[in-house]
Structure 1
Amino acid sequence: MSATGTVVVVGGGLAGASAVGTLRDEGFTGDVVLVGAEPHLPYERPPLSKSYLAGDSTLTEAFVHAVEFYDTRDVDLRLGSPVTALDLDTHTVHVGHETIGYDRLLLATGSAARRLPPADRSGAAVAYLRTVEDADRIRAALRPGRRVVVVGGGWIGLEVAAAARGADCDVVVVEPLAQPLLRVLGEELGHAFATLHRGHGVDLRTSTGLASVTSREPGGPAVVRLDDGTATEADLLVVGIGAVPQTDLAEAAGLAVEDGVLADEHLVTSHPDVLVAGDIARAHHPAYGTRIRVEHWDNAKAQGATAARNLLGAREAYDRLPYFFTDQYDLGMEYVGHLGPEGYDELVVRGDLAGVFTAFWLRGGRVRAAMHANDWDAIDPLRAIVTAGEVDLAALRDPRVPLGDVAS
């Protein structure tokens, strides 16, 4: 694509904001239009379940860029303007009654919280966490002595539980698997997170699920009955059972969709003039030889930038290792790598699971993923080890060998 023309970015989140900034940084002088469904400037979502939810930061601090950033780069912001349709043949985007033409298009519509119909039908006070309005609602309900029931022991559920305990709420977490984060981290690390939360006063109920939710009045307290026959009351029921990619626009337009918008390693979809980035992108990853979809902050930021360069004609493969982080109580964790459905056959842990440690997931003698807890000098060596894959396993298992020497 030439340095002129029009690029439209659909999606006002981190991936979209990263893309428009990169377009200008790369010298694109044509028209740049960013269309976002939410009325706010593009913002980063991790604070919504961490510092913002705890009342330790503001929305302004979560903005990817201040409004002046877009003004000085001549980005046409269309906020609070959900796209209603795409026409790939005419290269147009429909926003209400307006039609915007494009030469190249980036889809970055993100994901939405997975709904729990029995909770929604109950009439009780039920909350999800995806937008700043969701976080505001939950934060307003976090008051000392109030009872919060969280359905789902994944990252969002556990971070909400930590924030609620920080506000001196009574907290129950309901998780159908034997441990929280079991599918992500496995039994041993899942148990470590269970111990962490129970140690902070969370009533963590595993191996059981939601049987029913009832309420005596609309928007009022809920009676939550579980599969194990127990029941508990909740002033607020928070549902954190994952997210679904928002692919309706792409599918209606005729793009290839399967658990996300399908793309090659250059983030190009089934239409050559449409690229994709962020939560909805299920792109071929050169390091794994298959398509993967990643719902994390780092991926949205980096993919947005790569997609922008490829919109301008680069042929840059997106091969960055998946990365995510969490903060819960006094535990800070960073994870890098990707296990996939095949899982792992060996877990190597260095350190104390109750304090500072590093962990490595191996399959077939190769390191597929790694994480640290409270070891803030470890992430670069961990990334090098996962990138290398094949390392000296004896050195990896020996805590006397510095991490920086394992992959060398």
Structure 2
Amino acid sequence: MTGTLIVGGGQAGAQIAAGLRDHGYDRPVTLVGSEHIPPYQRPPLSKDYLLGKLPAAKLALRNEQYYARKDIDVVTGTSVTEAGIGDDGGWARTADGRRFTFEYLALATGAQPRRLPGDMGSPGNLLYLRTVADADRLRSLLDTATRFVVIGGGFIGLEAAAVLRAHGKQVTVVEMADRLLNRVAGSELGDFYLDAHRRRGVGFRLGRSVTALTTGATGDAVGVVLDGGETLACDAVVAGVGVVRDPRLAEQLGLAWDNGVIVDRYARTSHPRVVAAGDCVLGPHPAATGRIRLESVQNAVAQAKVAAATICGRTEPYTAVPWFWSNQGTLRLQTAGLHAGATRRILRGDPRTENFSVIYLRENTLTAVEAMNRPADFATARTLLAAGAELVGPATAVADPDIPLADALAVPATTT
């Protein structure tokens, strides 16, 4: 073939394919994904899908008719294992022996769950949560397992804990850091989730690490051993300890890599015929200093649109305001912007009401908002962040949840 080969069947890969056609790209488009189903939504896997509220058929990003109508060839159930590229294009070979040629290559290989150390073994009831198959394995245990240990106090771990409690399970979360969401959110949000989940019956071991899994006669894990010697009895273990990215294709293609494919603001890699988007990427953003990794659906979609435009010869830089959400039962978080680099924080409302926001500022410039059950704050923040809003009055106005956020933060007047 000629045209574009997309490696990766997730949100970013699907959006690159759609974006190419939206721009009028008329060359062949092939998408190769390792899972046995076409691209689908991942966020519901740890939420409504696990709760049984969303059937598998509703996970699909687009139906088969869409791909046929847009002449997008979707290859499932295999992965690209080898690739090479020159000045005019390249080739790729899949695990099942198929060979593709391309003018342009788009990498959307995402990330994979970080596994527990190999010396802990791989018991059948040690679960990760990234794919439909992962979620189905966890669902299959809900009828028989009562005691769950969740390793990792990030969003995936907390979402899984919320769903398991909704199913009436006994849940204990183990987190190495001294607080929840240590890497991705401020202390106010981490402390809030700790209190809120404890009220809902979740147990926690903070500042503790897992040293071993004990197994029973069947080979399944029956205990999680912590540093200090405590053992948590369990019927199943869910691990959410971050993600890793596979460098093999980038290395074969000679691409710049730093725990992710390095791209510029146009999603271009170090090779002019290769773009990349989504969780596999490390790149710049106007709201950040230096390169960052953004692991979210919003980033995958926005960056994929930029990648598709670049292939079509249209230079449209990535400037979209980052945003993210997490539903944990009745705890509905929406965030906008980037809190790293903020010099001050303002708490807006009372976390005990489970209705509050945290406003982040760099000096007086708005950098991020974490909104808990306050969708109006989130919607306003996205608009204000895009416009470069600043604090224009006293901080007490921002802290007052009864004052609209737009009345306390405003876009600076421009001069001509």
**For the structure 1 residues 182 and 289, does the alpha-carbon distance in structure 2 shift closer, same or farther, using more than 3 Å as the test?**
closer
TM-score normalised by length of structure 1: 0.94
* Preserved contact between residue 179 and residue 191 of structure 1 (Cα < 8 Å): yes
Report the AA paired with residue 78 of structure 2. Answer: S
**For the structure 1 residues 171 and 144, does the alpha-carbon distance in structure 2 shift closer, same or farther, using more than 3 Å as the test?**
farther
**For the structure 1 residues 400 and 171, does the alpha-carbon distance in structure 2 shift closer, same or farther, using more than 3 Å as the test?**
closer
Inter-partner Cα distance in structure 2 for 1:78 and 1:348: 49
Tell me the CA shift for residue 376 of structure 1.
Answer: 1.9
* Preserved contact between residue 120 and residue 212 of structure 2 (Cα < 8 Å): no
Task: Flag structure 2 segments of 5+ consecutive residues without an equivalent.
Answer: 412-416
133-142 or 180-189, which deviates more: 180-189
Report the AA paired with residue 175 of structure 2. Answer: E
Q: Superposition pairs for residues 149-228 of structure 1, below 5 Å?
A: 149-228=149-228
* Preserved contact between residue 91 and residue 100 of structure 2 (Cα < 8 Å): yes
Tell me the CA shift for residue 118 of structure 1.
Answer: 5.2
Tell me the CA shift for residue 400 of structure 1.
Answer: 4.7
1:404 paired with 2:402, answer no
* Preserved contact between residue 287 and residue 338 of structure 2 (Cα < 8 Å): no
* Preserved contact between residue 263 and residue 276 of structure 2 (Cα < 8 Å): yes
**For the structure 1 residues 193 and 393, does the alpha-carbon distance in structure 2 shift closer, same or farther, using more than 3 Å as the test?**
farther
Tell me the CA shift for residue 398 of structure 1.
Answer: 4.4
* Preserved contact between residue 5 and residue 30 of structure 1 (Cα < 8 Å): yes
Report the AA paired with residue 22 of structure 1. Answer: G
Task: Flag structure 1 segments of 5+ consecutive residues without an equivalent.
Answer: none
Matched pairs, number: 403
Give SS of 1:298's match.
helix
**For the structure 1 residues 273 and 393, does the alpha-carbon distance in structure 2 shift closer, same or farther, using more than 3 Å as the test?**
farther
Identical-pair percentage: 37
TM-score normalised by length of structure 2: 0.92
* Preserved contact between residue 147 and residue 233 of structure 2 (Cα < 8 Å): yes
Give SS of 2:301's match.
helix
1:269 paired with 2:261, answer no
Deviations 1:299-333 (A, max 9, x none): 11221122111110011101112211000111111
1:320 paired with 2:320, answer yes
Give SS of 1:198's match.
helix
Tell me the CA shift for residue 125 of structure 1.
Answer: 2.0
Inter-partner Cα distance in structure 2 for 1:119 and 1:381: 49
Inter-partner Cα distance in structure 2 for 1:273 and 1:66: 29
RMSD (CA atoms): 1.9
219-228 or 297-306, which deviates more: 219-228
* Preserved contact between residue 152 and residue 175 of structure 2 (Cα < 8 Å): yes
Of 79, 85, 89, 1:88 maps to 85
Tell me the CA shift for residue 145 of structure 1.
Answer: 6.5
Q: Superposition pairs for residues 294-333 of structure 1, below 5 Å?
A: 294-333=294-333
Question: What is aligned with 2:250?
Answer: 250
Q: Which runs of 4+ in 1 moved over 4 A?
A: none
**For the structure 1 residues 305 and 358, does the alpha-carbon distance in structure 2 shift closer, same or farther, using more than 3 Å as the test?**
same
Deviations 1:165-205 (A, max 9, x none): 01111101001212211232222221100011101100111
Question: What is aligned with 1:336?
Answer: 336
Question: What is aligned with 1:374?
Answer: 373
**For the structure 1 residues 244 and 23, does the alpha-carbon distance in structure 2 shift closer, same or farther, using more than 3 Å as the test?**
same
Question: What is aligned with 2:5?
Answer: 8
276-285 or 395-404, which deviates more: 395-404
Report the AA paired with residue 203 of structure 1. Answer: G
